[in-house]
Structure 1
Amino acid sequence: MEYKPENRICQNCKKDFIIEPDDFSFYEKIKVPPPTWCPECRFQRRCLFRNERKLFRNIDGFTGKPILSLYPPEAEFPVYEDSYWSSDNWDPFSYGVDFDRSKPFLTQLYELNLRVPHPRSDAINMVRSDYSANAADLKNCYLIFNATSTEDSAYGNAVDYCKNCFDNSHISSSERCYESFWLNKCYDTNFSSECDECVSVYFSKNCVGCSNCFGCVNLRNKTYCYFNEQLSKEEYQEKIKNLELSKWSNIQKVKEKSELFWLDFPVKYVQGIKNYDCSGEYISNSKNVRNSYLVRGGEDLKYVHYSQTTGCRDSMDTTVSGLNSELIYECMTCGWNSSQARFSFECWDGGIDFEYSMFCGKKANHVFGSVSINSGDYVILNKKYHKEEFYKLRDEIRKHMDEMPYVDKRGRVYKYGEFFPPEFSPFAYNDTITPEHFPLSKDEIISYGANWYEIPKTEYNTTINSSDIPDDIRDVKDEIVKEIISCEKCNRAYKIIPEELQFLRQNNLPIPHSCVDCRHKERISQRNKSKLYRRKCNCNGECSSNNNYDNTIEHFHGKDQCKVEFETSYAPDRPEIVYCEKCYQQEVY
């Protein structure tokens, strides 16, 4: 069947959006109706179901003992220790209920969800990593979130296949890195951003294959460069020695200098390398990925976000996915060796064919409207059915969802084909990743239909202020790990763990003066938002349009202004010089 582009009005924001022919083809392929919310509102709605890195004090529903959990007590459902939850010591089918034709199906699913136990931290195969969550295969990690196969690391999110890394965000296959963002295959790379295959690099951005470089930007396969100036080995080492990077005060000066220096050089309209026919931001090693964000090794994707473990393919509108997943649609945290998941939340680590389900996977297949099913086939509302009965009842429920849809607090209608309503989220809006992309005030959040968490004012018995920390790491005593420090930015308390102190001493780096949350916020402030803007290339012929950068070579358009237009995450009012692919490549390579 041949499809044509179609304009729709978003049910949520009331703005126009377009459904493209390829979109219709995908919906037909997986047998779902077209969406009634625009792509941006769909992403915002899914984000409400992702608390990435906040732990709450809760009670284990089995032992009655205090535990730390991703889920606050206000979520109301019971939580189990992950190992017990994934065991055969309890029976999720004992919570099964019959389908009630007298009320909306989503109401029934929500009621079931409040009764069935959930895992406390959504983590598997963890070794000595009790304070980490949303993770798999971690060893000796502390406060590492949204991570896979990482060890001996602390304080980070999206840290995959890494070793001995502290205070990083969105890094992969790297070792001994510190305070960096969007790295791949790097070693000893610190205070840097968007670097690939670099060694012993500091305060640098968008460098590839470089070693022993400091304060650099847009370099390829360079060694001993200082703020893009080529030096001899001896000159470089003398420069670094004179900086005295063991001092906190000097780190702050260099950081400010390097970030200002970066602005004098062009950035590519999209951050990423080794892509074919891709659009969005932070995409690498991917093919046919459109309007997506933070994707590594993806193929045939659209409106996909946070797919940073390779292997997500043939999917749309999924957030937090990857590792050999396919045919995923309108899901949050689904995938990981799974396929055919639709309108689901936390269904991963194996399994096929999930709809309107939560916390299902592993050895479960063909599951509809169920919670915490990790083994068993043909399940609806946590009840097993014969194959023929399952498909008959599933089709009846889909029809029932159209005839008696759920209507949320704001009057938005949820027929078959919609993700869960905001009010179904177990998290408050400001405890999720949503504010990182859609910042709203308390009143706006309540009006939207989500919950708000009022952070309690807590008196911390801190023992020292951050200003009391010795400026030089060489002057720091072992007793620092016993201190409770007051953050210089928010005044909340934080500590230095022994492994962190050891790492900083080995790398001759100073003690941080802010808490882990403030460090996280500052780090991801480097990260562009997912929203795309239509812009023209800033190459003006022989220089940039703001005259801050002189081109080093004549470009394909000669001395005339470049006419190329593109979609980019750099808003028009941003200070960066944004070049198209060709102009950028001619300057960098």
Structure 2
Amino acid sequence: MQVICKNHRCKQSFEITDGDLAALEMVSPIIAEKKYSISPPTLCPDCRQQRRLAWRNERFMYRRTCDFNRKEIISMYPPDSPFKVYEQEIWWSDKWNALDYGREFDFNRPFFDQFRELQLEVPRVALVNKQSENAHYTNHSGKNKNCYLSAVTFESEDIYYSDWVIDHCRDCVDCSYLNEGCELCYETYYAWGSYQAFFCDFIKRCQNVWFCYDCMNCKDCFLCWNLRNKQHCIENKQYSPEDYQRKIREIFPLSSAVLKKYREKYIQTKERIALHPAIYQLQSEGCSGDLLFFSKNCTECFDSIKMEDCRHCVDAIDIKDSLDVYHVGWAEMMYECHAITNAYNLLACHFTYDNKNAAYCDCTQNSHDLFGCAGINHGAFCILNKQYTQEEYKHLVPKIIEHMRKTREWGEFFPLSFSPFGYNQSRAQEYYPLTKEEALARTIRWSDYEPPAPKAARSIAAVRLPETIADVPDDVLNWAIKCEVSDKPFIIIKQELDFYRRTGLPLPKRHPNQRYLDRMEQRRPRKLWKRTCQKCQKEIETAYQPSRPEIVYCEQCYLTEVY
């Protein structure tokens, strides 16, 4: 059936299919042997996604005071946040009890109003970087060592200014979506098992490659595209080992000017020469979406691994039977959730680890059978952080659900205005940008907080930096460099300087956040369009808008050309 999005600023028509309704019925909670069907969505997929993304800040970190012990800490919440914030060691400890904030449910008021009051009182954890060593400036991460200003990084070492770097990667800077032990990579996006990859995209098992796109099992290549099992190539032209080295010596060592020239040429190559598959899927069956790996029967899903029977899911790992979730892993039976791991049967939950049978919960851990709770660890049968017996819980929750049906809250995720972050601090700003005026008009929080400038002995404009790394003095560690785009000052840390010297890269002229935004510019939107294959003219579904300049082929034509 066709439905009009209830967001009056959108009002787009969207389809709720029979498959959507069947999936919603499947994930609807069962309480005391009775199923409580989840209402069909009232917002279009984009507006639902925007609402979830507004609840995620993974890259912005601030110095502030722990509200428990007044200790200075690093936090994803700035000092002007309205929430109480505890450092990790305190938040996970038994030095406080979330049940102390419990309250009775009031059937004369909407559920969300009551939950908001609870949310504002219960302390929040400053960051999430569990089981890590010397990784204080990482978030939504775990089991790392020596990492800095990175997010969604797991089981990796010496990672800087990166996101989604997992599975034993090492010595990587300014990268996104690295897997399978990548090492010594820089400004690389989507790579598997690669070593010494610089300014590359979609590479697998490559070594010593620069400015390469969609290459596999390649070694010693420069500015190449769509290659398989090649070595000693420049712009897809084969060279002898001796001629290749001679050509490379003409390019290196890289100066800032030379690097800029090749970066621009690489972008032009991807846009005008390289072949692009309509969608990027690997060993996936019966799926619609882009950047899907080892998945089955998924609809409108993106950037995910090992999914089965899922719809409208993004950035997921190993999940089943779920709809409308973002950044989740190792879980089943979820709807409208964000930041979930090791979970089963969740509805409208945010940042819950190791939970089952929970609905409308925020920051609850190692718990089961919770409704409308915040900050609970190792709990069960609680409503608005108030403890009940199992019998009382199963008697009261159905009444609350019926109340939420009347107030039209049942089945909806938390409102945008409840997000613990300013909209401009969240991932939503990257995909659904708003101005401050637009956000405030919608009663969405906006943060005007600006952290103090880095302390430095000297301030220098990026344009005045040395052209090559060989000319950079050790004293650069005491400089505040003004970004050539935003004019925002940033510093170089010692580990970063060591990396540039080891790889021969010139110093960056842009702030780490600007470098991240530059990578985002090269990403495809998480949407699908209809267009025709530019080889056989067959109609295809693709992640490339028809107006984009890239050469896009259907799967069959792409494979024929590349292999």
TM-score between the two structures when normalised by the length of structure 2 = 0.94
Counterpart Cα distance in 2 of 1:459 and 1:139? 27
Name the SS of the counterpart of 1:573 in structure 2.
coil
Q: Is 1:569 paired with 2:563?
A: no
1:345 Cα deviation from its structure 2 partner: 0.8
Contact 1:177 1:187 in 2 (8 A): yes
* Structure 2 residue aligned with 1:579: 553
Distance in 2, matches of 1:458 and 1:351, equals 38
**Is the Cα contact below 8 Å between 2:129 and 2:135 reproduced in 1?**
no
Letter in 1 for 2:388: Y
2:522 paired residue number: 526
For the residues of structure 2 that align with 1:220 and 1:523, how far apart are their CA atoms? 24
Work out the CA distance in 1 between the residues paired with 2:494 and 2:281: 35
User: Could you give the per-residue CA deviations for residues 377-412 of structure 1, whole angstroms, max 9, x where no partner exists?
Assistant: 112111222222111111111111122x2xxxxxxx
1:549 alignment counterpart: none
How many angstroms does 1:563 deviate by? 4.1
Q: What secondary structure is seen at the aligned counterpart in 1 of 2:265?
A: helix
Task: Kindly indicate whether the alpha-carbon contact (under 8 Å) linking 1:246 and 1:474 is maintained by their aligned counterparts in 2.
Answer: no
2:132 pairs with 1:158: no
Contact 2:326 2:337 in 1 (8 A): yes
Asked if the contact 2:62–2:451 (Cα under 8 Å) also holds between the matched residues in 1, the reply is no
What pairs up with 1:326-475 in 2 under 5 angstroms? 326-334=332-340, 336-348=341-353, 350-361=354-365, 363-403=366-406, 405=407, 414-454=408-448, 456=450, 462-475=458-471
Q: Which residue of 1 aligns with 2:64?
A: 58
Matches of 2:273 and 2:452 in 1, distance apart? 43
- Map 1:235-274; keep pairs closer than 5 Å: 235-262=243-270, 263-274=272-283
User: Aligned partners of 1:565 and 1:482: how far apart in 2?
Assistant: 56
Q: What are the within-5 Å matches in structure 2 for residues 33-52 of structure 1?
A: 33-52=39-58
Structure 1 distance, partners of 2:319, 2:516, is 26
Cα separation, 2, equivalents of 1:457 and 1:416: 39
Q: Which residue of 2 aligns with 1:190?
A: 198
Which SS does the other structure have where 2:144 is aligned? coil
Paired position in structure 2 for 1:544: none
Q: Provide, for residues 344-394 of structure 1, a one-character-per-residue CA deviation record: whole Å limited to 9, x for no partner.
A: 11112x121221000012x21111100111202112111222222111111
Shift of 1:286: 2.2
1:321 and 2:328 are equivalent in the alignment:
yes
2-side partners of 1:277 and 1:448: how far apart?
39
* SS of 1:330 mapped into structure 2: strand
Deviations 1:491-550 (A, max 9, x none): 1111111111111111121111111111111112111111221111122xxxxxxxxxxx
Within 1, Cα distance between the matches of 2:253 and 2:382?
59
Distance change in 2, residues 1:455/1:61 (3 Å):
closer
- List aligned pairs for 1:540-555, cutoff 5 A: none
CA distances 1:296-341 after superposition (whole Å, capped 9, x unpaired): 232222111122xx3122211001112x21112101111x221212
For residue 215 of structure 2, give the secondary structure of its aligned residue in structure 1.
coil
Kept after mapping to 1: 8 A contact 2:135/2:144: yes
Equivalence for 2:221: 213
Match of 2:175 in 1: 168
Q: Distance in 1 between matches of 2:65 and 2:142?
A: 23
Which of 203, 206, 229 aligns to 2:237? It is 229
Checking the alignment, whether the CA contact within 8 Å between 1:274 and 1:285 is kept in structure 2 is yes
Determine helix, strand or coil for the equivalent of 2:484. Answer: coil
> Which of the numbers 15, 18, 22 marks the counterpart of 1:18?
15
Aligned to 2:26: 29
Tell me the residue number matched to 2:35. none
Q: Do the aligned partners of 1:353 and 1:365 also contact (CA within 8 Å) in 2? A: yes
Question: How far apart are 1:72 and its partner, in Å?
Answer: 2.7
Of 445-454 and 110-119, the range deviating more from structure 2? 445-454
Distance (Å, rounded) in 1 between the aligned partners of 2:265 and 2:5: 45
Deviation at 1:140, TM superposition (A): 0.9
Residue type of the alignment partner of 1:265: A
Residue 8 (structure 1) aligned with residue 13 (structure 2): no
Q: Which amino acid in the other structure matches residue 558 of structure 2?
A: Y
Q: Provide the alpha-carbon RMSD of the alignment.
A: 1.7
More strand by share: 2
How many residues are treated as equivalent by the alignment? 547
SS in 1 for 2:149: strand
Instruction: Indicate the residue corresponding to 2:304 in structure 1.
Output: 295
Aligned counterpart for 1:510 among listed residues 503, 506, 513: 506
Q: Structure 1: which amino acid aligns with 2:197?
A: T
Q: Measure how far apart 1:101 and its partner are.
A: 1.7
In 1, the alpha carbon distance for the partners of 2:328 and 2:523 equals 19
In the other structure, the counterpart of 1:135 is 141
Q: What's the offset of the Cα at 1:85?
A: 0.5
Shift of 1:458: 7.1
Distance in 1, Cα, partners of 2:23 & 2:98: 33
Q: Mind listing any 5+ residue stretches in structure 2 that lack a counterpart?
A: 29-37
Report the 3-state secondary structure (helix = DSSP H, G, I; strand = E; otherwise coil) of the residue aligned with 2:214.
Answer: coil
Q: CA deviation at 1:269?
A: 0.8
**Partners of 2:86 and 2:461 in 1: CA distance:** 37
Say if 1:194 and 1:271, in contact at 8 Å, map to a contact too. Answer: no
Letter in 1 for 2:559: Q
Q: Aligned to 1:351, what secondary structure does the other structure show?
A: strand
Change (3 A) 1:171 1:144: same
In structure 2, C-alpha distance between the alignment counterparts of 1:111 and 1:167, rounded to whole Å: 39
CA contact (8 A) 2:129 2:136 kept: no
Q: Secondary structure at the match of 1:311?
A: strand
CA distance in 2, matches of 1:245, 1:33: 61
Query: Aligned equivalents of 2:63 and 2:357: distance in 1?
Result: 34
Q: Which string of whole-angstrom CA distances, capped at 9 and with x for unpartnered residues, describes residues 67-98 of structure 1?
A: 22112344312110112101122111111111
- Where do 5+ consecutive residues of structure 1 fail to align? 1-5, 406-413, 540-561
Give the whole-Å Cα distance in 1 for the aligned partners of 2:292 and 2:561.
Answer: 21
The answer for the alignment partner of 1:543 in structure 2 is none
Distance in 2 (CA, whole Å) between partners of 1:529 and 1:387 is 45
TM-score scaled to structure 1, two decimals? 0.90
C-alpha deviation, 1:440, in angstroms: 2.4
Task: Tell me the SS of whatever aligns to 2:189.
Answer: strand
Shift of 1:279: 2.0
